[in-house]
Amino acid sequence: MTSPTFKLGTRGSPLALAQAHMTAAALQAAHGWGPAATEIVIISTTGDRVQDRPLAEIGGKALWTKELDAALLDGRIDCGVHSMKDVETQLRDGIALAAMLPRADVRERLLGAESIDALPHGARVGTSSPRRAAQLKSLRPDIVTEILRGNVATRMAKVESGAIDATLLAAAGLDRLGVAAGSTVPIDVMLPASAQGAVGITARAGDAATLALLAAINHDATFAAVSLERGFLAALGGTCHSPVAALAEVADGRVAFRAEIMTEDGSEIEEGGFEAALEEAPALVAALAADMLDDASPALRSLFTPG
């Protein structure tokens, strides 16, 4: 009798499938499994089906995760593979964040121009991210942002056809797809979203055997950094409407943390950060969120609902 295959649930986009195959390969390497020991199961999500409206209008990040969570809970899959940037800060009951793969490039790539400064006056830039839109408008108030959703190929085609002048995409996603396109935007110009560049794997809470299998492929520094960034979002009470950037860099037991909160038009940006021992960082992240909200205007504070 053959052993049952380990089923990895994923969305069906090319990037999601690439990340699922990376996860399967990591499991095979860690446990000495052959290719037949893993199976990729595609789960259709609401976020994939509804492409004409911003996520915040139709249910937020849960649109990427709720169908995968349901498949986990009813046993159709053994784990879910996600872009961590798309995972809700508060996980659904019964779902555990089990592991993260090593983080890739956290930076943005600009398609359509060599740099943000090089964009023509009044350029139309497609993005569905409130953070990217706010950062762009802060740097270039003349820029017009337009809602743009869809997979990488769809967004690139909009630029190539002239429907928009430019767009921003995560460098990590382009790299995972083998797409050499766009100009890299320095972190000091655009701080990334919380968890950008990280792939996370969820499992059923309490499923000790599966959690142990997944622990073998966890990258500790990535898990620590992304957990701090997600902790910052949770302390702010940020939603899909809230323009937030956060980056934790973990090395040798220490963390350098940077964050921004901003109004939707980019006219106000509060910045903050710290360097500390890793064990001190969770409390410092919560304190930083409170301090930044205290310093913010009422208009900026209204975009957040801290607990």
State both tokens at 104.
Answer: 């890739």
Q: Which of 249, 126, 157 is nearest to 196 (CA)?
A: 249
CATH 3.20.20.70 for domain 6-102+198-218: no
**Structure tokens belonging to residue 192:** 């990334």
The correct CATH number of 108-185 out of 1.10.357.10, 2.60.120.330, 3.40.640.10, 3.40.190.10 is: 3.40.190.10
- 85 and 226 in contact (C-beta within 8 Å)? no
Cα dihedral: 170, 172, 176, 178 (round 10):
70
Q: For position 1, what pLDDT does the model report?
A: 27
Half-sphere exposure of 3 (CA within 13 A, CB side): 10
Sign for the pseudo-dihedral over CA of 205, 206, 207, 208: positive
- Residue count (the chain): 307
SS3 assignment for 24-43? HHHHHHHHCCCHHHEEEEEC
Name the catalytic one among 48, 86, 165, 207. 86
Long-range pairs for 251-256: beta carbons < 8 A, 24 or more residues apart = 251/221, 253/277, 253/278, 254/278, 255/224, 255/225, 255/228, 255/281
Which pLDDT belongs to residue 69?
93
pLDDT in tens, the chain (307 residues): 246 799 999 999 999 999 999 999 999 999 999 999 999 999 987 655 555 555 555 445 556 688 899 999 999 999 999 999 989 888 999 999 999 999 999 999 999 999 999 999 999 999 989 999 999 999 999 999 998 878 888 888 999 999 999 999 999 999 999 998 899 999 999 999 999 999 999 999 999 999 999 999 999 999 999 999 999 999 999 877 789 999 999 999 999 999 999 999 999 999 999 999 999 999 999 999 999 999 999 999 999 988 6
SS3 (DSSP) at 233: helix
CATH of domain 233-301: 3.30.160.40
Question: What type of residue sits at position 193?
Answer: A
Q: Residues of 52-64 as b/e, b for ≥16 C-beta within 10 angstroms?
A: eeebeeeebbbbb
Active-site annotation holds for 86? yes
- CA angle (211, 215, 217) in 5-degree steps: 130
CA distance 132 to 129: 5
Residue ranges with strand state E in 218-306: 244-251, 254-262, 269-277
Q: What are the domain boundaries of the chain?
A: 6-102+198-218, 108-185, 233-301
- What is the pLDDT, as a whole number, of residue 227? 97
Q: Model-level pTM?
A: 0.92
- Say whether 108-185 and 6-102+198-218 share the same fold: yes
Choose among 43, 44, 26: nearest CA to 77.
Answer: 43
